[in-house]
Amino acid sequence: MTENKNATMPGRRAVLKAGAFTLAATAAGFSLFTPRNSSAAAKVVIKYDWLMSNGQIGDIVAARKGFFEEEGLEVEFSPGGPNSATVPPVVTGQAQFGQFSDSAQLLLARASGVPVKIFACGFRMAPFAFYSLPKAPIRSVQDMVGKRIGIQPTARFVLDAILLKNKIDPSSLTITNIGFDMTPLTTGQVDAVTGWITNTQALSVIGPDRIDLMMKDTGLPSYANVYFATDDALQDNAEMLAAALRAIAKGWGWTHANPEEAVRVAVEAYPQLDLDLELKTIPRVLSLSFDEATGKNGWGTFDSAAIAEQISIYNTIGQFKSGAPKLEDCYSETILDMTADDRPKIA
């Protein structure tokens, strides 16, 4: 099994429910990695908003290869899931930092008054994409005009943002709510479906003629697997966050150099992952994690201008019911600056 969140980008209601207004953290599914010399280690809990999978392979490698231990950290992974709250454990200090599947979640949380900021980016672009077939190909956003688009309700705001960015009237296409299943495309009910490009198993039903329109090709900027911490943690515990990020970055660098072995390490740690599927998916995962910007500024980097554009577009479509967050409240480059010489520069 690969990514179960194959089709969704988070909606506002889901983010608020799991973030601003739910204050009970879940302890289910913890995966503990204890260093051999734990007496000298600082305990760090990382809260993820979904199950551990290929999107966290560098983090898993960092734990299994002792990179956290080298930084003097004892790390505990706290995976998420459909009913798991991501923000409350971080805000209450039960977790030292967390990871959101998409940068939009952080913006929505911040707009709701939650004092959290992005401090690093795992995926340089969102794995979210539109999938079509040659009989009704969608290779650009303009190709959506006149087509039937099947999308999950929680991802509808993403489509609205893409259409706004490309100055396309939503009434010029037919938008249908679908679930996580890709068969509405193969049965001809819709001309396109949406999902995560890293979900090899779910996408396999579409077949080899699948046409992908990635989020980055729609003109809407979006980062994925973003690491976040509270304002206080970024000020008071910057050294710990920097140590953790150095270890994670080293894990991703090791994964890039040893992709097949990294997959085996991840599957050994999490046997629910399918070895064959993950071996097929790792090239795509690495393509999301490394690009020209990481070659220059190191793994984990992000561009504040892209975050600013996201805020502007989501504000225009009315996504921030309580008002748009300020850009400077949504990110911090402090931890990236502290680890600039240690994060692998791989394009």
Per residue in 58-71, pLDDT tens?
999 999 999 999 99
Between 163 and 39, the more confident residue is 163
Structure confidence at residue 77 as a pLDDT band (50, 70, 90): very high
- pLDDT score of 40: 59
Q: Of the given ranges (13-22, 36-45, 330-339), which has the lowest mean pLDDT?
A: 13-22
Q: How far apart are CA 52 and CA 54, in angstroms?
A: 7
Structure confidence at residue 22 as a pLDDT band (50, 70, 90): very low
- pLDDT score of 84: 85
Per residue in 109-150, pLDDT tens?
999 999 999 999 999 999 999 999 999 999 999 999 999 999
Q: What percent of the chain has pLDDT over 70?
A: 88
Average pLDDT over residues 12-33: 35
Q: How far apart are CA 196 and CA 92, in angstroms?
A: 31
Residue burial 317-336, b: 16+ Cβ < 10 Å; e: rest = eebbeeebbebeebbbeebb
Amino acid (one-letter) located at 293: A
Q: How far apart are CA 119 and CA 58, in angstroms?
A: 17
Taking CA atoms, 82 is separated from 4, 194, 195, 231, in Å, by 9, 18, 16, 26
What's the CATH number for 128-218? 3.40.190.10
The reply to whether 12-124+222-338 and 128-218 are identical in fold is yes
Helices (H), 112-151: none
Inform me whether the pLDDT recorded for 13 exceeds 80: no
Domain range summary for the chain, segments of one domain joined by +:
12-124+222-338, 128-218
**Max CA distance (Å), the chain:** 63
Q: Of the given ranges (7-11, 319-323, 330-334), which has the lowest mean pLDDT?
A: 7-11
* Residues forming a β-bridge with 97: 46
Per residue in 240-265, pLDDT tens?
999 999 999 999 999 999 999 999 99
Structure confidence at residue 81 as a pLDDT band (50, 70, 90): confident
12-124+222-338 classified as CATH 3.40.190.10? yes
Per residue in 275-324, pLDDT tens?
999 999 999 999 999 999 999 999 999 999 999 999 999 999 999 999 99
